[in-house]
Structure 1
Amino acid sequence: MKRTTSAAAALLATATAASAGGIERSAQSIAFMFEEGSYGELSFSHVSPKVSGTADANYGGFATGDMTSSYRTFGMAFKTDVNERLSIGMQFEQPYGADVYYPENTNYLFEGSNADLNSDEIKLIAKYKLDSGFSVYGGLRFQQVSGDVSVPPLANYTLSVETSSELGYLVGAAWEKPEIAARISLTYHSAITHEFNSTEFGGVPGTFETTMPQSLNLEAQTGIAEGTLLLGSIRWVDWSEFDITPPNLPGNGSLVDYENDTITYTVGVARRITDNFAGIATLSYEKQNGGYSGNLGPTDGRTSLGLAGRYTVGKATITGGVNYSWLGDALTEAPALAGGGDLGNFEDNTAFGVGLRVGYNF
């Protein structure tokens, strides 16, 4: 039971369609580093968001149609103990992404607009045990990002960027008390600034910078009864520093930017049902900030409910989970080239995710 946090992290990863800005696809948890001995895992998730809205009467009142696509993410991790105090690990994940497509023939202002953003990240981590249950850890992050955008309402604007590869880092500290399955960890991920070589309007070269935001994770668990764990986390992401403004973008605004940071709160309970099976339930909340949301990510806040099961077979653990998210209503703004003002009202949207994680203790 004391390692059930890893299973909860796998479950939470399935809700990422509703995360801050609509492009975050990983909670960036490094819970695998607290597994005993040598440990490896593979994870997979599939998320199906449903996001649609209706144009303001000034823009015809047309329905947008579902402007999101289902997506999949893959991850893997491995850690081993060098000695009684030092552990090293490696993790691969896909922390950010976007699959946006406004259907054609709807008469909505942004019909035919689409965006595709992909990222891969490899972390190399070392953790050192101190006395009295404390430990410190840190590591390097190698991140790659690429993407393409087409926005016909902006003078038939198109953007294609070459893959950018940059380094960042993470640092953190933790306290553990194995007797009661207690652990508290605080992890900081640095911002990573990418300089993209871009092509706009099908042939205009340029360069611009975009910063993938810094974040802070506070994760905790403790036993509250025989066979029962209480889980919780708070995640802050500095989305107000995220901005995509290519050099030849028409108008005076940004292609994507966010006014507010986000804080996501999660609580959960894990219960051992048999010697080999445990169940997990989680509830996550991210408040609405109000104001305008981006046309390529028209959601604002979320509430998510997750259920997972974790089955142990010898040295292997299999965790499967489902997650349902109610996405916060959002209002979008028409670009200045089209006259500005309220554009679309996006209400009653949802996301459904499934996740699978297989771990093995060597």
Structure 2
Amino acid sequence: MNKAAMAAGLLALGASGASAGDIERSTQSVAILFEEGRYAEVNLGFAMPDVRGTVGGLDSGNMAGDFATFSLGYKQPLGPDMDVALIIDQPIGADVDYGPGSYPLAGTEAELRSNAVTALLRYKLQNNVSVYGGLRAQSVKGKAHILFDIYDPGTGDFVATTDYNLETNTDYSLGYIVGVAWEKPEIAARVSLTYNSAIDHTLTGDETGTNPVFGDRSSRSEFDTTIPQSLSLEFQSGIAADTLLFGSIRWVEWSEFLIDPANYQFYFPDVPLVAYRSNRTTYTLGLGRKFSDSWSGAITASYEPSTGELTGNLGPNDGFKSIGIGATYTRDAMKITGGVRYVKLGGATTRGVEADFDDNEAVAVGMRVAYNF
């Protein structure tokens, strides 16, 4: 059953680029705490989104760049009732590139990067209950180059192009994790509820802007942004010999996430650089199966409902549906898992440009190498 559970690791593979605004690249799972003995893992992922929109007959081209992700994890017992774990991952990220052409945002680029180190401690209580918690140290930085053509609303004639640039420092901040779990090892059953706190960052940004009508502006100023809090319910249970049912429900308070520096507000009032009006809940359900001592596999399906609201031009999707498959090969203490995931992205209409983004998709692949010792 443990090998079927390992194949269920697809839940964390290839998940990038398929959550609110395409910026969440780690689900911040604490599943590593429940591995047996000393355990280490390396995860690699690669996502290939295809996101295109149109406005006034003009095509944006694929504005979402391919990207890679990685994470490392290590877990060790500190006795019969206590475990510690260390996780290194990339909680959020963005790669936006509107290629050359006649689309109003042609030439626009944006990049968001983060890294996090999470230290966790788990303590086992009676009746198969355990509690856990820890700290997350996180860094974020970003840059953006926004080109936006302005047209006369009456005549439709071209007026001017706004050229806006932002580059921030790297800011470091702390958050925390708390959770509780219940297990029944005889049937590989486990339910865990994990709370990840919001992490506030104060970024210093160098901003420059050029517009023939509104003038040129440059400044170095501070602005705040919040990586939002989340609540995750993860579960699994054996339902037949060598067969595992697993899944999760994850809520993230994306309405608290905002990037809207001062100079950007001057050139683009009431259209934040990045903002979400609604929180998001993502549902995942999967089935894992052990086929032999060496091979096991899993299939997963995920769903994030659309909100129907306008989105930003740097993340023009609204919800998604996905399906993924994975397989694990076990040899002695080593397990190698590979997975692929297809994501159907929800259509959206963007703020400002009011372009329609429909029929978009992404393919993500991932690999995990794990070792028990």
Q: Which amino acid aligns with 2:50?
A: K
Q: Is 1:188 matched with 2:184?
A: no
* 1:256-294 Cα distance to aligned partner (Å, 9 max, x none): 100111100000000111112111000000011002011
2:145–2:166 CA contact under 8 A, matched in 1:
yes
Structure 2 Cα separation of the partners of residues 169 and 39 of structure 1:
23
Aligned to 1:220: 235
Selected match of 1:113 from 108, 116, 121: 108
Q: Is 1:128 matched with 2:145?
A: no
Q: Which amino acid aligns with 2:164?
A: Y
**1:226 Cα deviation from its structure 2 partner:** 0.3
Structure 2 Cα separation of the partners of residues 289 and 9 of structure 1:
29
Select between 232-241 and 243-252 the one with higher mean Cα deviation. Answer: 243-252
Aligned to 2:176: 169
Q: 1:293 to 1:9 in 2, by over 3 A?
A: farther
Structure 1 Cα separation of the partners of residues 308 and 146 of structure 2:
24
Selected match of 2:225 from 199, 210, 220: 210
What pairs with 1:152-167 in structure 2 (closer than 5 Å)?
152-153=147-148, 155-167=162-174
Aligned to 2:153: none
* 1:19-45 Cα distance to aligned partner (Å, 9 max, x none): 111101111111111001110000100
Q: Which consecutive residues of structure 1, in runs of 5 or more, have no partner in the other structure?
A: 336-342
The alignment-based identity, stated in percent, is 46
* 1:89-140 Cα distance to aligned partner (Å, 9 max, x none): 10000110000000112x1111111110000000000000001100000000
1:15–1:304 CA contact under 8 A, matched in 2:
no
**1:11 Cα deviation from its structure 2 partner:** 4.3
Select between 21-30 and 299-308 the one with higher mean Cα deviation. Answer: 21-30
Q: Is 1:356 matched with 2:367?
A: yes
Selected match of 1:239 from 246, 254, 263: 254
1:12–1:306 CA contact under 8 A, matched in 2:
no
Q: Which SS does the other structure have where 1:84 is aligned? A: coil
Aligned to 2:44: 44
Aligned to 1:89: 85
Q: Which SS does the other structure have where 1:248 is aligned? A: helix
Aligned to 2:2: 2
* 1:240-268 Cα distance to aligned partner (Å, 9 max, x none): 11111112212322111001111000000
**1:74 Cα deviation from its structure 2 partner:** 0.8
Q: 1:19 to 1:54 in 2, by over 3 A?
A: same
Q: Which SS does the other structure have where 2:32 is aligned? A: helix
**1:297 Cα deviation from its structure 2 partner:** 0.4
CA RMSD of aligned residues (A): 1.3
1:13–1:45 CA contact under 8 A, matched in 2:
yes
Structure 1 Cα separation of the partners of residues 105 and 325 of structure 2:
36
| Number of residue-to-residue matches in the alignment | 350
Q: Which SS does the other structure have where 1:21 is aligned? A: helix
Structure 2 Cα separation of the partners of residues 266 and 9 of structure 1:
12
Q: Which SS does the other structure have where 2:176 is aligned? A: strand
Normalising by structure 2, report the TM-score. Answer: 0.92
Structure 2 Cα separation of the partners of residues 213 and 5 of structure 1:
29
2:6–2:328 CA contact under 8 A, matched in 1:
no
**1:6 Cα deviation from its structure 2 partner:** 5.0
2:305–2:320 CA contact under 8 A, matched in 1:
yes
Q: Which SS does the other structure have where 1:14 is aligned? A: coil
Q: Which SS does the other structure have where 1:66 is aligned? A: coil
**1:7 Cα deviation from its structure 2 partner:** 4.1
Q: Which SS does the other structure have where 2:37 is aligned? A: coil
Aligned to 2:316: 298
Aligned to 1:251: 268
1:240–1:260 CA contact under 8 A, matched in 2:
yes
Q: Which consecutive residues of structure 2, in runs of 5 or more, have no partner in the other structure?
A: 149-160, 210-217
Aligned to 2:212: none
